[in-house]
Structure 1
Amino acid sequence: MTLARLSNNLFPSFPSVFDRFFEGDMMDWNSANFASTNSTLPAVNVKEDDNEFQIEVAAPGMKKEDFKVDYDNGRLCISSEKKSENEVKEGEKMTRREFSYQSFQRSFTVPETMVEGDKIKANYADGILRITLPKRDEVKPKPPKQIKIQ
């Protein structure tokens, strides 16, 4: 059985609220991209190789002083708060003044048994905050051990 849309619309130039109901998953919250919703929550990439994890946070237009990165009890927390105010000079009459305030917080669970917490590094360049979490030697892949046949 195939679901078909009924097109008995009295106002064909105005789409019905239900026209696209069956065309997508309205409850697909896992694939929501906050960057497309004008939110201040930045997009994040997480990479892993044999030696480390790397988290990249897209945050253009910020300064490294705007970020706070904490690692405590297996939880990495990245946050930022940025305020922008236009200063009024003496003798100026203000007709309109707009403030800008942006903040975000992203948290990741990274077990202490996997990373060297005291060797975590962060670098901000070209609008990307990169956080490197070196893996502990115990969790790094080991080369196969050659067994001598006797």
Structure 2
Amino acid sequence: MSTVKKYENPFNGFPKLLDDFFGHELSDWRNNNFSETSTTIPSANIKETADNYQVELAAPGLEKSDFDIKLEDCRLIISSLKKQENETKEDKYTRREFSYQSFQRSFTLPRDIVDVENIKAQYENGLLTIDIPKKEEAKKKAPKLIEIG
């Protein structure tokens, strides 16, 4: 009886190594901006300045009234639901089409740093901007020069 040696490709682990290194973007052609239901999730930019944090969400085609922004404990939750119904009536039939577009994004805010009472939001030209001010004690102060006596 002869033994058969199974051929193993020495490069089998290489794609996994690349995936782990680059965060699953190379071999996974699905974009992270798609949810499990294949609907898009708006991309977010988060900026920090000395005075505040700013969250920008790219959400073109929506109206201000389509958004729901709320704060639960330290979580900022941004969601949207847009329904659209089209109906066509002809002689012997009616055709209705429904379209639902929704998403939800949440961000955990640092409790000791953020002034939750003064958070402001604005939607203009497809961009939702949320300004989250920092508390006075959390703002970076300019360095203090100490004179030598």
| CA pair 4-33 structure 1, distance change in 2 beyond 3 A | closer
CA distance in 1, matches of 2:45, 2:80: 17
Structure holding more strand per residue: 2
* Corresponding residue pairs, total: 134
Aligned to 1:138: 137
Q: Does 1:78 align with 2:72?
A: no
State, as a whole percentage, how many aligned pairs show the same letter. 45
Aligned to 2:7: none
CA deviations over 1:65-120 (Å, ceiling 9, x no partner): 000111231110101111111135596722x4321111111110102211110100
Q: Does 1:55 align with 2:55?
A: yes
Task: Give the AA of the match of 1:28.
Answer: G
| Structure 1 segments unaligned to the other structure (5+ residues) | 6-19
CA distance in 1, matches of 2:85, 2:46: 34
TM-score w.r.t. length of structure 2: 0.75
8 Å Cα contact 2:87/2:96 also seen in 1: no
Partner SS for 1:133: strand
| CA pair 119-147 structure 1, distance change in 2 beyond 3 A | same
| Structure 2 segments unaligned to the other structure (5+ residues) | 1-9
1:1-150 map, 5 Å: 24-25=18-19, 28-29=23-24, 33-35=31-33, 39-88=39-88, 93-94=93-94, 96-150=95-149
CA distance in 1, matches of 2:142, 2:114: 20
CA distance in 2, matches of 1:133, 1:103: 24
Partner SS for 2:33: helix
CA distance in 2, matches of 1:30, 1:52: 31
